[in-house]
């Protein structure tokens, strides 16, 4: 029986429990409410029968699901173990890697086994046998448990059971599980990046990586190749990332903040309801379209402009990428800032206006300080978008890891290098691919530090109303 | 007429009254309003109100909820300008100057006609910065020492200085409700206005804090003209010299506070102050 069939049966059983559980207390419930006098009837307080139904359904569902989960986790190692034992007993020896061999066995098709090594076919047959036994056992155990728990649960259902409290507790646990999945995923990602980075730092010293100014990750395939020594100095990448993000924020923060102030304080509600969605569409345009725009329109324009005043501008410049990225992240700043400025209580505006302050004085001295946390939040979101942006940089700023703070030069960023390190056919244990994890870790730490600083700034300068 | 006067009867009584009963006008008025109508879009909130507010008097505006007394109050410093759909017609004069004249700057008007709101609304700044806010934006003082003096003087006038003198840098939002409201009054008088509008200044406060505010209003009367909207008739009786009774957007009766509460001339006023509706 497949998992989906088992799940389907479990749900059916739970539905059955729900109706039975509800039914069991329904008679008592009705009896208590059976009184011709409405006043008496209104005074009878009673846990609604549906809660007893929910508790019964949980009894039949939860233990069975837990057991199913455990079996799903442990059955594969057990089958593998059995298969190995079988292979040892029947003297089947293999030269290749056992994992690869197992993979081949799993991928065999019952209908296409002619012409394959008979030993392999034998193992395959054993494997299929084991699988079907495991599957049957799984179905029997889970369903039997579910039925048992249903009977048990229904037996426990009486009018005295605090069903509403049980149900509330169950809801709380479900919500907790949902929250922990997000947290655990984050922890998992961080740990995996961390371990791969440690492997990388085993080959390349941390100091070389963090303070090296030369980035050329090409390792030699043959020993006699030219330029065979790869260097992994990450400084140019981080400087490049910072440079482009800085240009982007210089564009996005003032424009976004000012448009937010206009929309929330000056624009008529008609204009606002039209302009806000249009502005937010900016965030919905695929970044590759922005990249296109940056590479084909903005970069040549900047180059021409620079040349007309006698500056030498690279055809792929940090400035072009940063400008276009800035436009892209405007809605992150403006939308959030608009929301928080609008959320400042009207009484603050009236208090200030009532003292004879002008609109702009009110905005600068009262509204923005009160809305500061939200504004900083928006800027941070925009900054992380800028730091993580890849496509625009690939198209408009290039791949050359130059160590420069001149926005007219071509630079590259951390994310772009991660992409180039990992695309194509790569072995996953060379320094070159592992460097991607180290870069990822550094990027993660950088954003983390940025967040902490922002949090501190907000705490210190925030003016909290009510 | 029975105690259960229904709405229709009230409305017909109201339609009868025509003009305001009592003495709405006075000589040498600080604020003078004639035939004021206020509309929220197509909805008329104030009907033809004519009323004078004398110098250094406290006038109380009373009436049931939704009668337009707050709307009328907010016309006096053009606070209604902040509401797009609000339209004010009629003549409103401050010392003979038209408040709604094209060349009248509402910002300067509000510096002359200050306002204290129903819910204390100190800015999320320190106590000092709250009081210094107005003087700073109007450039009233020329140095820090003058500003310090002005802040202290305003806090003393508002009866708050003793309680906060050691923590002027603490946030104004950390004070109790009554203290916050006195801070808002200090903030308002720091701008040296001529008129102070108060929109139910004590309705969110406990009786002790209310008593302090009422005492303060009587004190402030020496230097300012005060218009106070209140739901508490006892409060109106305690703090004001004249009382105006509003009903469904019309000004029903104006008179000496004593006379209004002991011998009202209009039937609606009598019904309201004796607590038969409202």
Would you call A465 an interface residue with chain B, using a CB distance cutoff of 8 Å?
A: yes
Confirm whether A201 is domain-assigned.
no
pLDDT at B250 exceeding the cut of 60: yes
Query: CA-nearest residue of chain A to B130?
Result: A352
Contact A365 B171 (CB under 8 A): no
- The closest of A378, A301, A287, A304 to A339, measured between CA atoms, is A378
Closest residue to A348, CB basis, from B114, B123, B137: B123
Q: Kindly determine whether residue B137 and residue A357, on different chains, have CB atoms separated by under 8 Å.
A: yes
pLDDT of residue B1: 39
Alpha-carbon torsion angle A258, A279, A248, A438, nearest 10: 130
| % of chain A with per-residue pLDDT over 90 | 34
Is residue A193 one of the residues assigned to a domain?
no
Residues making up chain A, counted from first to last? 466
CATH number at residue A412: 1.10.3720.10
Residue A14 reports pLDDT greater than 90: yes
pLDDT confidence tier of residue A105, bands split at 50, 70 and 90: confident
- Residue B2's pLDDT is what? 43
B119 CB neighbours in chain A (<8 A) are: 347
Q: Do B121 and A463 touch (CB under 8 A)?
A: no
Residues in chain B closer than 8 A to A366 (CB atoms):
123
Asked if pLDDT for residue A85 goes beyond 90, the answer is no
Buried b (16+ CB within 10 A) or exposed e, B168-182: beebbbebeebbbbb
> Is B84 in Cβ contact with A350 (below 8 Å)?
no
How many other CB atoms are found less than 10 A from the CB of residue B97? 11
Selected residue with higher pLDDT from A288 and B6: A288
pLDDT at site B93: 94
Give the mutation candidate from A351, A368, A463 for the B interface (greatest B CB count, under 10 A). A351
Residue B168 in any domain: the answer is no
* Distance, CA of A7 to CA of A155 (rounded, Å): 23
User: What is the distance between the terminal CA atoms of chain B, rounded to a whole angstrom?
Assistant: 17
Q: Are residues A307 and A398 in the same domain?
A: yes
* Among A259, A420, A419, A232, residue whose Cα is nearest residue A327: A259
Sheet of strand B225-229, all strands in order from the earlier edge strand to the far edge: B21-22, B250-256, B242-247, B58-62, B225-229, B195-199, B113-116
Q: What is the pLDDT of residues B220-230, one digit of tens each?
A: 999 999 999 99
Instruction: Say yes or no: A150 and A253 in one domain.
Output: no
The answer to whether the beta carbons of residues B242 and B227 sit under 8 Å apart is no
Using a CB–CB cutoff of 8 Å, tell me whether B117 touches chain A: yes
Smallest Cα distance from B242 to chain A, Å: 24
Report B:175-194 residues touching A (Cβ under 8 A). 184, 187-188, 191
Contacts A349 to B, Cβ<8 Å: 82
Interchain pair B114, A366: CB under 8 A: no
CB B87 within 8 A of CB B39: yes
In a domain, B241, yes or no: yes
Question: Do A268 and B171 make contact, defined as CB atoms within 8 angstroms?
Answer: no
Residue A256: band (very low, low, confident or very high) from pLDDT cuts 50, 70, 90: very high
- Produce one character per residue of A123-156: b if its CB has 16 or more CB atoms within 10 Å, e if not: bbebbeebeeebeeebbeebbebbeebbeebbee
| C-beta atoms surrounding A268 within 10 Å | 9
A51-60, A347-356, A372-381, B46-55: which range is least confident on average? A372-381
Structural domain includes residue B244: yes
Closest partner CB to A351 (pick from B108, B117, B137): B117
Q: Which among B110, B122, B184 is the nearest to A356, CB-wise?
A: B110
Whole-number average pLDDT of chain B: 89
Residue of B41, B107, B111 to mutate, testing the A interface (most A Cβ within 10 Å of its Cβ): B107
ipTM confidence: 0.84
How many Å apart are CA A121 and CA A101, to the nearest integer?
12
A391 closest CA partner among A294, A247, A250, A253? A294
A200 is a domain residue: no
- Residue A361, chain B, CB below 8 Å: the answer is yes
Q: Please spell the DSSP secondary structure of A145-197, one letter per residue.
A: HHHHHHHHHHHH--TTS-HHHHHHHHHHHHHHHHHHHHHHHHHHHHHHHHHHH
Looking at per-residue confidence, does A452 or A115 come out higher?
A: A452
- Other C-beta atoms closer than 10 Å to the C-beta of A350 total 18
Mean of pLDDT values over A194-220:
84
Give the nearest chain A residue to B115 (CA atoms): A354
Instruction: Please enumerate in sequence order all residues whose Cβ is within 8 A of that of A141, keeping only pairs 6 or more positions apart, or say none.
Output: A67, A71
Q: Rounded CA gap, B36 and B45, in Å?
A: 10
Which range marks the domain in which residue A320 is found?
216-220+228-461
Q: Is residue B232 part of a domain?
A: yes
Token pair belonging to B16 = 């009868």
Cα A259 to Cα A246: distance, rounded to the nearest angstrom = 20
Q: Is residue A166 part of a domain?
A: no
Q: Do A256 and A333 form a contact (C-beta atoms < 8 A)?
A: yes
Q: Does A254 touch chain B (CB under 8 A)?
A: no
**Residue A170 resides in a domain:** no
Which chain B residues contact residue A465 at CB under 8 A? 123-124, 173
**CA–CA distances in Å: residue A406 to residues A7, A104, A309, A313, A317:** 61, 55, 16, 10, 9
Cβ contact, residue pair B121, A348, below 8 Å: yes
pLDDT at position B21: 86
> Smallest CA–CA separation between A354 and chain B, in Å?
6
Q: Which residues of B touch A361 (CB under 8 A)?
A: 137
Compute φ and ψ for A162, nearest 5 degrees: -75, 70
Same domain, A263 and A116: no
- Which residues on B lie below 8 Å from A354 (Cβ)? 77, 79, 110, 114-115, 117, 188
Measured between beta carbons, the chain B residues lying within 8 angstroms of A340 are: none
Per-residue confidence (pLDDT) for residue B175, from 0 to 100: 93
- Does the distance separating the beta carbons of B125 and A357 come in below 8 Å? no
Cα of A266 to nearest chain B Cα, Å:
11
B122: which chain A residues are within 8 Å (Cβ-Cβ)?
351
As a whole number, mean pLDDT of residues A380-406 equals 85
**pLDDT higher for B16 or B219?**
B219
**Residue A168: inside a domain:** no
The reported pLDDT for the residue numbered A349 is 93
Given CB atoms, is B138 within the 8 Å cutoff of chain A? yes
| pLDDT for residue B277 | 65
* B251 Cβ neighbours under 8 A, 6+ residues apart: B20, B24, B49, B50, B51, B244, B245
Q: Which residues of A touch B77 (CB under 8 A)?
A: 354
Whether A426 is covered by a domain: the verdict is yes
Beta strands (DSSP E) in A201-328 are 215-216, 231-232
**Final residue in a domain of this structure, among A146, A161, A176:** A161
Strand, coil or helix: A330: helix
How much is the pLDDT for A161?
86
A361 and A248 housed in the same domain:
yes
Domain for residue B166, yes or no?
no
Give residue B18's domain range: 7-121+195-273
| A437 and A357, same domain (yes or no) | yes
**Averaged pLDDT of chain A:** 86
The CATH number of whichever domain residue B224 belongs to comes to 3.40.50.300
Confidence of residue B8 (pLDDT cuts 50, 70, 90): low
Contact criterion met (CB < 8 Å) for A355 and B121: no
- With respect to residue A43, please indicate whether it lies within any of the assigned structural domains: yes
Total domain count, chain A: 2
* Residue A106 shares a structural domain with residue A244: no
> Domain check: are A254 and A387 in the same one?
yes
B82 touches chain A (CB under 8 A): yes
Among B77, B114, B173, the residue with its CB nearest the CB of A466 is B173
Give the Cβ contact number of residue B241 at 10 Å: 15
Q: Do B111 and A464 touch (CB under 8 A)?
A: no
Which residue in B59, B16, B58, B88 sits closest to B222, CA to CA?
B58
- Residues A149 and A249 placed together within one structural domain of the fold: no
User: Do A441 and A294 have their domain in common?
Assistant: yes
Distance CA B256, CA B7 (A): 28
Decide: B31 and B53 in contact? Cβ < 8 Å.
yes
Write out pLDDT tens, residues B147-196.
999 999 999 988 899 999 999 999 999 999 999 999 999 999 999 999 99
- The residues pairing with B170 across neighbouring beta strands, listed in sequence order, are none
User: What percent of chain A stands above pLDDT 70?
Assistant: 95
- Which positions in chain B touch A353 (Cβ < 8 Å)? 79, 82, 110
Q: How many domains does chain B have?
A: 1
Name the domain boundary from A124, A146, A161.
Answer: A161
């Amino acid at each position: 029986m497949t998992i989906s069939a088992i799940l389907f049966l479990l749900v059916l059983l739970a539905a059955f429990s729900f109706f039975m559980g509800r039914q069991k207390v329904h008679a008592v419930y009705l009896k208590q409410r059976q009184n011709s006098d409405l006043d008496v009837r209104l005074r009878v307080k009673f846990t609604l029968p549906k809660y007893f139904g929910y508790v019964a359904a949980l009894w039949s569902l939860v233990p069975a699901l837990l057991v199913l989960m455990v079996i799903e986790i442990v059955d594969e190692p057990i089958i593998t173990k059995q298969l190995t034992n079988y292979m040892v007993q029947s003297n089947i020896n293999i030269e290749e890697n056992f994992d690869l061999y197992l993979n081949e066995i799993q991928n065999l098709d019952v209908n296409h086994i002619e012409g394959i090594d008979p030993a392999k076919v034998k193992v395959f047959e054993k494997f299929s046998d084991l699988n079907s036994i495991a599957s049957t056992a799984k179905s029997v155990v889970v369903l039997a448990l579910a039925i048992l728990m249903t009977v048990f649960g229904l037996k426990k259902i009486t009018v005295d059971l605090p069903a509403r409290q049980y149900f509330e507790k169950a809801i709380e646990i479900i919500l907790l599980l949902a929250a922990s999945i997000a947290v655990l995923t984050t922890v998992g990602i961080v740990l995996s990046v961390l371990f791969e980075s440690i492997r990388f730092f085993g080959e390349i010293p941390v100091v070389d990586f963090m303070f090296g100014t030369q980035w050329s990750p090409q390792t030699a395939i043959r020993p006699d190749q030219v330029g065979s020594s790869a260097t992994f100095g990450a400084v140019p990448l981080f400087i490049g990332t910072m440079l482009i993000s800085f240009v982007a924020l210089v564009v996005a923060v003032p424009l976004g903040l000012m448009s937010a102030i206009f929309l929330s304080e000056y624009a008529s509600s008609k204009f606002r309801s039209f302009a806000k969605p249009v502005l937010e569409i900016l965030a919905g345009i695929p970044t590759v379209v922005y990249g296109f725009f940056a590479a084909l329109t903005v970069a040549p324009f900047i180059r021409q402009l620079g040349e007309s005043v006698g500056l030498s501008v690279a055809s792929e410049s940090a400035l072009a990428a940063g400008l276009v990225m800035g436009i892209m992240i405007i809605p992150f700043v403006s939308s959030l800032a608009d929301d928080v400025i609008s959320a400042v209580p009207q009484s603050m505006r009236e208090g200030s206006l009532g003292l004879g302050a002008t609109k702009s004085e009110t905005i600068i001295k009262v509204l923005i300080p009160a809305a500061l946390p939200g504004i900083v939040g928006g800027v941070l979101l925009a900054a992380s978008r800028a730091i993580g942006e890849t496509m625009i940089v690939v198209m408009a700023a290039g791949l050359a890891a130059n160590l420069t703070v001149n926005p007219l030069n071509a630079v590259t960023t951390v994310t772009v290098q991660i992409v180039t390190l990992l695309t194509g056919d790569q072995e996953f244990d060379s320094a070159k691919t592992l460097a991607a994890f180290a870069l990822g870790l550094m990027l993660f730490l950088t954003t983390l530090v940025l967040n902490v600083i922002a949090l501190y700034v907000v705490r210190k300068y925030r003016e909290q109303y009510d | 007429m029975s105690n259960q006067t229904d709405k229709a009867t009230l409305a017909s009584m109201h339609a009868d009254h025509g003009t305001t009963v009592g003495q709405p006008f006075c000589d040498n008025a600080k604020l003078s309003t004639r035939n004021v109508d206020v509309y929220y879009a197509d909805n008329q909130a104030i009907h033809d109100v004519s009323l004078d507010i004398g110098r250094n008097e406290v006038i109380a505006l009373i009436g049931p909820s939704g009668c337009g007394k707050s709307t009328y109050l907010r016309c006096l410093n053009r606070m209604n300008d902040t509401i797009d759909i609000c339209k004010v017609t009629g003549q409103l004069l401050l010392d003979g100057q038209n408040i709604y004249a094209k060349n009248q700057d509402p910002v300067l008007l509000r510096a002359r006609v200050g306002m204290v709101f129903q819910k204390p609304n100190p800015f999320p700044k320190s106590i000092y910065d709250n009081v210094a806010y107005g003087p700073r934006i109007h450039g009233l003082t020329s140095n820090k020492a003058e500003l310090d003096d002005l802040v202290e003087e305003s806090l003393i006038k508002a009866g708050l200085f003793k309680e906060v003198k050691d923590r002027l840098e603490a946030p104004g939002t950390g004070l109790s409700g009554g203290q916050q409201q006195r801070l808002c009054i200090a903030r308002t008088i720091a701008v040296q206005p001529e008129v102070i509008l108060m929109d139910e200044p004590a309705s969110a406060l406990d009786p002790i804090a209310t008593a302090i505010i009422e005492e303060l209003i009587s004190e402030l009367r020496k230097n300012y003209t005060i218009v106070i909207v209140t739901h508490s008739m006892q409060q109106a009786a305690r703090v004001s010299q004249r009382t105006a009774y509003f009903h469904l957007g019309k000004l029903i009766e104006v008179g000496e506070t004593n006379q209004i509460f002991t011998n009202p001339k209009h039937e609606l006023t009598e019904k309201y102050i004796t607590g038969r509706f409202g």
